[in-house]
Structure formats: structure tokens, C-alpha cells
Amino acid sequence: MIMKILTFPDPKLREVSKPVTDFGPELKKLSEDMIETMYDANGIGLAAPQVGELVRMVVIDTRPKDEKGRRYKYEEMSELEQAVPQPLILINPEIVKGEGKTTFDEGCLSIPGYYETVERFNYIEMKAYDLNGKEFIVKTDGLLAICMQHELDHLEGTLFVDHLSFVKGNKIKNQIKKYGYPVKDKADADSAKAGAGPDKEKLEV
């Protein structure tokens, strides 16, 4: 089921999500709906609060698409990224180690049409749980590490614009509150749904 993605300034995006304690069928259904919603929106990551569910779960798929829109192109990813099965479901995620720095022009499905350079750890180790409540650790770098950090922010009520300077961040927030979001060109939307996807430097999570 395709779910509605909340956009800033929806107050739910600013709330801290609660830890998952029930690993039952409802959680599995939510994860499936979130993955379907992420793909439908042509995103590479989605956190539960973005669809109005204040629980600590995120779904991610950063694999580049082939010409048919299938996310099979592992060869364009680092060795560490390739070692992580995707789509990836992270429940109660927590960064246990972060090294190095990298920057990336981040976008967000909850702030559509806006992209800004954000600094993140280049390499992270993240502890999380699967749908059966089993603990595991993901060790990765590159785009996958960036996306994981971005999604973890959502669980704390933090948006990527909060990482910008006070002036730049407030300018974007005020512009959205006053004018709303830019209307996506229909041709661009149709192209994205067909599998062309956004530019590498303009991925939304």
C-alpha cells in the first residue's frame, strides 16, 4: 500500500520516534508498505515518521538502477556497500562508530525540490534489529552510510536542513512556509516513474 509522505512543516516530522518493542505482523506490514512507498516516490530511503508512524524503523535501497529501472547495479557501489543486502530494514538503529568526513548534496522526500550540501561520517557502523528482533551490525561507507545517517536523523525529529547554517536553513524553511513547494514537471515525474531516476547528486531520502 502506498502511504502518504508527510512534508515539512508537518509537526510529526519534529517528534522523536519511540523504540519498537513489538516485532509482530503489523511491523512487517508497515515495512512492506514503506518500501513500496519509497520506490513509488523514487526515493532511496524512508523513515517511519515520514509516513506518520512514530516508531524507530527505516527502509533503504541505494542500489543504482539499470536501464529498466531495476536496482541491480551493485558494480557502481563500494565493496562495503555491495556487502549489504538491500532493500535494507533497520529497526531501532544506533550508530556505534563513525569515521572520516564526507559531503553530499542531500535531498529529502519530506522537503521535495530542495538540495543542499551536508557533512556526514564517511564510514559508519550501525547496530539495528531485523523484523524478527535479531540484532545485527551494518559496516559501510559511501552513499549507503550517508543515507543511513539521514534516516536516523528523522527518528530524532531532525531534517537535513537543520545541518545547514542558521541563515541558510531558516531561509529554506521560511520560503517553504510562505510559498510551498515547487511543482514537479510532469515529464520529469514520468521519467522518474519509468526508471530513469534522479541525478546521482540529487537523490531524495
Supply the residues annotated as catalytic: 151
Greatest pairwise CA separation for the chain in angstroms = 45
Produce one character per residue of 74-103: b if its CB has 16 or more CB atoms within 10 Å, e if not.
eeebeeebbebebbbbbbbbeeeeeeeeee
Contact criterion met (CB below 8 Å) for 147 and 122 = no
Give the integer Cα–Cα distance in Å for 173 and 180: 10
